[in-house]
Structure 1
């Protein structure tokens, strides 16, 4: 949950430079499965898309300016982007220009913050933009 709060702060700080989207995927620690002790919510495994949409609504709380989408029940977005269970991406003009590491260990809000700050400088003073894209085989 602390990571979500950090993401929300980052999004609020950079809303003028980017559109932010949370894609809610399958629940990593469902209350009827591998339970996390620090989870503020009791969300059981999703049995239907309606279950997943209801859980995704929780992500909207305290996230001004962030849009939320829900993955399909076949977990197509999760598989395509290699989230398992959290990952950060920047997509610019339809192309992935930043791919963070897989969560939880590779998930780095501070790395994304640095990238966004560089991007904003690049937009204002035409300084070189450094893309951070690990090889696709890592996802």
Structure 2
């Protein structure tokens, strides 16, 4: 949840230049599978879309101001973006501009912040009309 709060702070800071979206994918450490000792919630492996939607609501509670999408049960979004089990992306005009590393080690809010800081700086250098 700490990573989610960091993401939410970043989204609030850059709300004027970017839209943010959370995509809830399959549970990385289900309570009936590969259990993590520091998991904030006990979420069993999703058996159906309703299970995944219920689990996604926990994410919604942690980031109420950010739109939330839920991956399909065939994990199409996760597979398309190689998100196993968390990853940061910047997509601009339908093109991937930034692809963070795979989580948890590659999930670096600081890298995302640097990219957005550079983008904001570039925007401030544009002439006004």
TM band (smaller chain): over 0.9
Partner of 1:74: 74
The superposition leaves residues 19-48 of structure 1 with CA deviations (integer Å, 9 ceiling, x where unpaired) of 110100000000111111111111100000
- Measure the CA separation in 1 of the matches of 2:12 and 2:29: 27
Alignment RMSD (CA, Å): 1.0
Task: Point out the more displaced range, 55-64 or 115-124.
Answer: 55-64
1:106 CA drift (Å): 1.0
Give the TM-score taking structure 2 as reference length: 0.93
User: Could you tell me which residue of structure 2 aligns to residue 30 of structure 1?
Assistant: 30
- Equivalent residue number for residue 2 of structure 2: 2
Q: Residues of 1 paired with 2:3 and 2:82: CA distance?
A: 18
Structure 1 residue ranges without an equivalent (≥5): 127-139
- Tell me how far apart the structure 2 counterparts of residues 80 and 63 of structure 1 sit (CA, whole Å): 24
CA–CA distance in structure 2, aligned partners of residues 36 and 15 of structure 1: 33
Could you list the structure 1 runs, at least 4 aligned residues long, displaced by more than 3 angstroms after superposition.
none
Distance across 1 between alignment mates of 2:105 and 2:86: 10
Count of residues in correspondence between the two structures:
126
